[in-house]
Amino acid sequence: MGRDVREKVKVGDSLRTRVANVTPIHLDERIKIRTMNRMVVRDAETMEILRDQILQNVITTASLTKFALRLTTPYVAAGNYAFLCLGDNATPSFNAADTDLDTPVEASWGVTTKSCDAAVATYYKRYLPEDANGHTYTEAGIFEALAAAAVYAGRGDGVLMDHIAVSPSLEKTAAILVDFYLTFTFS
């Protein structure tokens, strides 16, 4: 007759050790998003740095939704635009539910360059001496849009990703140029 297979199967010590050393899976891992928003103001003639400042910000709920969608839907690089806008409200408000700047200045809308390296996404925009003059800016916002038309026609279908406080305010004149570096780091 057949033998009882259970009698012959033995678990070796090495298997017991390997099973005991398995690292448990953490089901509650959290993704952290950190931002750093830097504004550098330079003298237009000498390129001397007049102001180099890290700006406070609010990551909007809409941007968190956009990040989540990037994880769950196919990403298409073509037709994906980012742009920066400045606002000149005397007392802007900032909260995660924001979908636009308090007082956007249309003359300040401009396409940004975007790059991604590992888990860091960076947006960059330079305002030349002739750009967006005659306003005292108190806020900025980085937007993403699916169509170039949204960039040139105003906010269109753009999503406010980051609402940034420019404090102290920035008086933009032809005597200066301004660089904005906006960075999202995922960890």
pLDDT in tens, 19-53: 555 566 666 677 888 899 999 999 999 999 999 99
The closest of 35, 97, 95 to 65, measured between CA atoms, is 97
Looking at the predicted structure, is the pLDDT value of residue 80 above 80?
A: no
CA distance 117 to 102: 32
- Residue 170 pLDDT exceeds 70: yes
What pLDDT digit, counting tens, does each position of 108-122 carry?
A: 988 888 888 888 989
pLDDT value at residue 23: 60
DSSP 8-state secondary structure symbol assigned to residue 98: -
Cα–Cα distance, 137 to 101 (Å, whole number): 11
Q: What is the mean pLDDT of residues 83-90?
A: 90
The pLDDT of 66-75, averaged and rounded, is 72
Q: What mean pLDDT comes out for the span 143-167?
A: 71
| Cis peptide preceding 168, ω within 30 of 0 | yes
pLDDT-derived band at 68, boundaries 50, 70, 90: confident
Rounded to two decimals, the pTM is 0.77
